[in-house]
Amino acid sequence: MSRKITDKVTWVGKIDWELKRFHGEELSTHRGSTYNAYLIRDEKTVLIDTVWKPYEKEFVENLKKEIDLKEIDYIVINHGEIDHSGALEALLNEIPDTPVYCTANAVKSLKGHYHKDWNFVQVKTGDTLDIGESKLIFVEARMLHWPDSMFTYMTGENILFSNDAFGQHYAAEKLFNDKVDNDELYYEAMKYYANILTPFSGFVKKKIYELLDMNLSINMICTSHGVIWKDNPLQIVNKYLEWANDYQENQITIVYDTMWNGTRRMAEAIAEGIREADSSVVIKLYNAAKFDKNDIITEIFKSKAILVGSPTINRGISYSIAGLLEMIKGLGFKNKKAAAFGAYGWSGESVKIINEALEKAGFTVVNDGIRVTWNPDAQAADECKEFGRTLVKQI
């Protein structure tokens, strides 16, 4: 159902309480999500974005309750991914000639998804659309997070429709940031940044400074996922600047997999050594085979250093650690230290393999790592503790 945001702007999106996985299996969404679409009524009527494909019929039916579809003068698609453009086909089946404003790259992505030659109007940064008392200003936002992304700014109401940027996979009945649990909100906003935007931090900084230079007054940031930033909306912009600046907290995260608990015991002994050497540092341990990979990525995002451990399996490393290392390579974390560890019975290649993967992923590997045969005995556990104590000095 629709919700009024201002006299001229109505939320016409979908709250998806059931969503648990996004981008296929790539991203966990423990708190669901929303697909936010907005209807602007000025002298002209504009729809900003739609919803994810499975909800296209529901979206069009709800929109019909709000407005006669023929009254929609323009559609703005800020980004072509199907969680936002998914209802476009069903909508344009009803109002086929309606102009669709989007970037040149979004024409490509929309044609790629839907194979339709709709009435596209390509826009670039600085282009405007008069809609009556207000004006829409388009700002390309390449790589936030796709090459086709853009922001749309509405004068008068001073609303930035930012699409994915500043969003969160967070289902909430209340639409505004000051009406929800802020610990949950910020965890989900950080998880979104860590897992989706980290590779594009350079673009994020550049775009935010460009936006600030435009001196736009911003009363609200209407994202395409999660809540609207209405109370002190620039708080999330400033947070993004912090996150984009090689973010880290005083945290060390130890991620491991284990077959017969040898590598787990190593992880725990290393953690003990770190704690003895530095009581101020936050230390967290995750078994990668048991914990959600995207939550682990969020913890890595927060860390100044990580330790990665795997037993040697068939002269290689465990499936879960290999997958995680592949993820962090793609995300391109910067300014983080790392080390490797692992138990083995026979050949013992895991530490070398992890070290190489960490270097490829851009981490500074601070030592050769530590290997232990079989299950660590008291002496081996002491060596792991000493490894932890020394690591504190090395980072």
Residues taking part in catalysis: 23, 79, 81, 83, 145, 164, 192, 225
The smaller minimum CB distance to ligand FEO, of residues 42 and 83, is found at 83
Site for ligand FEO in 88-147 (CB under 6 A): 145-146
Binding segment toward ligand FEO, per CB under 6 A, in 76-84, 179-187, 288-296, 308-316: 76-84
How many residues sit close enough to ligand FEO to count as binding (CB under 6 A)?
9
Q: What are phi and psi of 162, to 5 degrees?
A: -100, 0
Q: Which of 81, 157, 188, 257 binds ligand FEO (CB under 6 A)?
A: 81
Residue 326 near residue 294 (C-beta atoms within 8 A): no
Residue 183 near residue 168 (C-beta atoms within 8 A): no
DSSP per residue, 96-146: TT--EEE-HHHHHHHHHHH-----EEE--TT-EEE-SSSEEEEEE-TTSSS
**Could you tell me the smallest distance in angstroms from the CB atom of residue 172 to ligand FEO?**
16
| Cα first-last separation, the chain | 52
Nearest to 285 by CA among 184, 191, 272: 272
For residues 64 and 47, what is the distance between their CA atoms, to the nearest angstrom? Answer: 12
Q: Which of 14, 84, 207, 302 binds ligand FEO (CB under 6 A)?
A: 84
Nearest to 281 by CA among 391, 172, 177: 391
Binding segment toward ligand FEO, per CB under 6 A, in 81-89, 235-243, 346-354, 383-391: 81-89
**Could you tell me the smallest distance in angstroms from the CB atom of residue 100 to ligand FEO?**
17
The smaller minimum CB distance to ligand FEO, of residues 226 and 311, is found at 226
Beta bridge partners of 125: none
**Could you tell me the smallest distance in angstroms from the CB atom of residue 259 to ligand FEO?**
38
DSSP per residue, 169-192: ----SS-BGGGS-HHHHHHHHHHH
The smaller minimum CB distance to ligand FEO, of residues 109 and 303, is found at 109
**Could you tell me the smallest distance in angstroms from the CB atom of residue 388 to ligand FEO?**
40
The amino acid at residue 29 is: T
Site for ligand FEO in 364-393 (CB under 6 A): none
Binding segment toward ligand FEO, per CB under 6 A, in 37-45, 75-83, 206-214, 308-316: 75-83
Contact between 293 and ligand FEO (CB under 6 A)? Answer: no
The residue number whose beta carbon is nearest to ligand FEO equals 81
Q: What does the per-residue mask of binding to ligand FEO show for 145-174, with x meaning CB under 6 A?
A: xx-----------------x----------
DSSP per residue, 294-358: HHHHHHHHH-SEEEEE---BTTB--HHHHHHHHHHHHHT--S-EEEEEEEESSS--HHHHHHHHH
How far is CA 228 from its chain centroid?
16
The smaller minimum CB distance to ligand FEO, of residues 85 and 303, is found at 85
Site for ligand FEO in 217-256 (CB under 6 A): 224-225
User: What's the token pair of residue 206?
Assistant: 């550049």
For residues 60 and 55, what is the distance between their CA atoms, to the nearest angstrom? Answer: 9
Q: Which of 8, 14, 79, 385 binds ligand FEO (CB under 6 A)?
A: 79
Binding site for ligand FEO (CB under 6 A): 79, 81, 83-84, 145-146, 164, 224-225
